[in-house]
Amino acid sequence: MKILVIGGGGREHAIVWKLKQSPLVTEIYCAPGNPGIGEMAKCVNISVEDISALVEFSREINIDMTIVGPEGTLVSGIVDEYRKAGLNIIGPSKQAAQLEGSKAFSKKFMEKYKISTAKYNQVTSFEEGRRLLNQYQLPVVIKADGLAAGKGVFICNTLLEAEKALQEILVDRVFGDAGSEVIIEEFLEGIETSILCFVDGENIVPMVGSQDHKRIFDGDEGPNTGGMGTYSPNYTYSNEMAEKVMEQILKPTLKGIQEENMDYRGILFVGLMITQDGPKVLEYNVRFGDPETQVVLTRLETDLVEIFQKLLINQLNSIEINWSEKASVCVILASTGYPEKYEKYKKIEGLNCLDEDIIVFHSGTTIKEGNLVTDGGRVLGVTAISNSIEEARHLVYVNIEKIHFEGKHYRKDIAIK
């Protein structure tokens, strides 16, 4: 089989790494890819936003299956265009992708299908938002409605912070059209967990649990990021809790997908808060998470291509999906300044000195003058799988010390809690 992966970050590197293990695969292409991906796949210089060029390339090369990484490409409707062209693609339709593309859409969906979530209001003006803030206890959560690369969420501890967030989103338009509407939401107390699921429209099959670390600094301090590290399994996500999530959240979500006639054959990411009142949905994502994918796919034992083949024909229930009992930890090495302004093109050294058990997924790298250099806020995902979280964590941090680039920043507390 010839497979195309769309994207060029750590998530896509992890997907390519897993696909490469399948005996069913003859060639893997990645658009646009990155230097790490280029060591195991053919990188194609096509933007993730150029849907017509991606369709044309897939036709010309006779791609058998395409997997989409970035949410923006899904929200833009790539799945609809591929299916019109008679091409196999893993992902939800444009309609279904609104579960991530619009927080207002997803909140209304949760309300309609009685899926537990935080109480909220949807507003379109600063004055309306400021007036409604009085209905909420502090802290309060302010979210841009549309896609903001994981940075459109503000947890505000004071009214002044909340008003500033409303000002930045609705008046200053720091997120552009993604901030034309805002969700004001109650702050949920509890333990956060991430559940990735395979969905074929008739079945929903959760993967193993993982725990993300969104804030930039140790102790969950500082602004939100796209994710600074993950580990799996998440021990707070017990078998008993998994059953509750299936009955109270995943099954009602699948029912909603069916009743809304959504074409959903892809990945569903459910961000959960495990509260005293039970599990509640923080958000839906309609693709693999980053960096959750890096720890989840390293634990997957079943052939990912075989799973995707069953998913495309609505037969996920006919394949047994097995997971390693081992634990996986991923720590992100970022550029100083991320998630705000940061410098690029800093030379990366030391990757050839790492232990054999370490897998490095490239998130933001490129080649300049023959050297591997930084090219993003999140640069590398240093990942290890071992007998326990403690062992995997130790391996990762020992090897991080061997990797060097100017401005290297990372959290020192991933997988402690």
Same domain, yes or no: 264 and 331: no
Read off the pLDDT of each residue in 269-297 and give the average, rounded to a whole number.
Answer: 95
- The enclosing domain of 9 has a CATH number of 3.40.50.20
Which tokens is 372 given? Answer: 């591997």
Q: Give how far the C-alpha of residue 320 lies from the chain's centroid of Cα atoms, to the nearest Å.
A: 24
Domain finish residue from 295, 318, 341? 318
pLDDT in tens, 64-123: 999 999 999 999 999 999 999 999 999 999 999 999 999 999 999 999 999 999 999 999
- Looking at residue 117, the DSSP 8-state letter turns out to be B
Contacts of 131 (CB under 8 A, 6+ apart): none
171 and 219 co-located in one domain = no
Same domain, 248 and 304: yes
Say whether both 147 and 61 belong to one domain. no
Cα–Cα–Cα angle for 286, 331, 417, rounded to 5 degrees = 90
* 197 and 311 both lie in a single domain: yes
pLDDT in tens, 150-172: 678 899 999 999 999 999 999 99
C-alpha distances in angstroms, 202 versus 56, 116, 216? 30, 22, 38
Do 214 and 301 share a domain, yes or no? yes
Same domain, 276 and 171: no
In a domain, 415, yes or no: no
On the question of pLDDT at 375 being above 80, the answer is yes
Look at residue 290 in the predicted model and tell me its pLDDT: 95
Residue 339 confidence (pLDDT): 92
Whose structure tokens read 């949760």?
110
| Spatial separation of the C-alpha atoms in residues 47 and 133, rounded to whole Å | 40
Q: Does 414 reside within a domain?
A: no
Rounded distance between C-alpha atoms, residue 135 and residue 162, angstroms: 13
Tally of structural domains, the chain: 4
Question: Domain of 354?
Answer: 327-409
- DSSP E strands, 163-210: 182-186, 191-199, 204-206
The answer on pLDDT for 417 being more than 80 is no
Final residue in a domain of this structure, among 156, 186, 216:
186
pLDDT greater than 90 at residue 149: no
Mean pLDDT of 126-154: 91
In percent, the amount of the chain with pLDDT more than 90 equals 92
Write out pLDDT tens, residues 241-281.
999 999 999 999 999 999 999 999 999 999 999 999 999 99
- The number of helices, as runs of H, and strands, as runs of E, in the chain is 13, 23
Phi, psi for 51 (deg, rounded to 5): -65, -40
| Residues 133 and 155 grouped into a single domain | yes
In the predicted structure, residue 148 carries a pLDDT above the cut 90: no
Locate 252 and state its tokens.
């009602």
Q: What are phi and psi of 235, to 5 degrees?
A: -70, -15
The token pair at 333 is 């090495």
Task: For residue 243, give every residue at least 6 positions away whose Cβ sits within 8 Å of its Cβ, in sequence order, or none.
Answer: none
How far is CA 240 from each of CA 64, 274, 278, rounded to the nearest angstrom? Answer: 39, 12, 11
Domain boundary among 271, 290, 318: 318
Q: Evaluate whether residue 288 is within a structural domain.
A: yes
Contacts of 165 (CB under 8 A, 6+ apart): 142, 154, 156
Domain assignment present for residue 356? The answer is: yes
Q: What is the pLDDT of residue 150?
A: 67
Owner of token pair 């999906």: 321
pLDDT for position 224: 83
pLDDT above 80: residue 348: yes
Q: Does residue 396 form part of some domain?
A: yes
Long-range contacts of 165-170 (CB under 8 A, 24+ apart): 166/123, 166/126, 166/129, 166/130, 166/142, 167/126, 169/142, 169/144, 170/123, 170/124, 170/125, 170/126, 170/129
Nearest to 43 by CA among 6, 69, 88: 6
Average pLDDT estimate for 220-238? 90
Instruction: State which H helix or E strand residue 223 sits in.
Output: strand 221-224
Q: How would residue 409 be classed by pLDDT, with cut points 50, 70 and 90?
A: very high
What distance lies between CA 346 and its chain's CA centroid? Answer: 26
Asked if residue 98 is part of any domain, the answer here is: no
Could you read off the pLDDT of 24-77 as tens digits, one per residue? Answer: 999 999 999 999 999 999 999 999 999 999 999 999 999 999 999 999 999 999
Cα separation, 100 vs 75, in Å, equals: 8
Indicate if 26 and 59 belong to the same structural domain.
yes
CATH number at residue 231: 3.30.470.20
Same domain, residue pair 14 and 38: yes
CA-based max dimension of the chain:
59
Looking up residue 335, the CATH number of its domain turns out to be: 3.90.600.10
CATH of the domain at 141: 3.30.1490.20
For residue 143, what pLDDT is reported?
95
What is the value of pTM for the model shown? 0.94
**Cα(194)–Cα(293) distance, integer angstroms:** 10
- The answer to whether residues 308 and 29 touch, using CB atoms and an 8 Å cutoff, is no
Q: Is 99 a member of any domain?
A: no
- Has residue 104 been placed in a domain? no
CA-to-CA distance for 285 and 283, rounded, in angstroms? Answer: 7
The residue behind tokens 């599990």 is 279
- Are 201 and 181 contained in the same domain? no
Task: Report whether pLDDT(235) > 70.
Answer: yes
303 and 200 in a single domain? The answer is yes
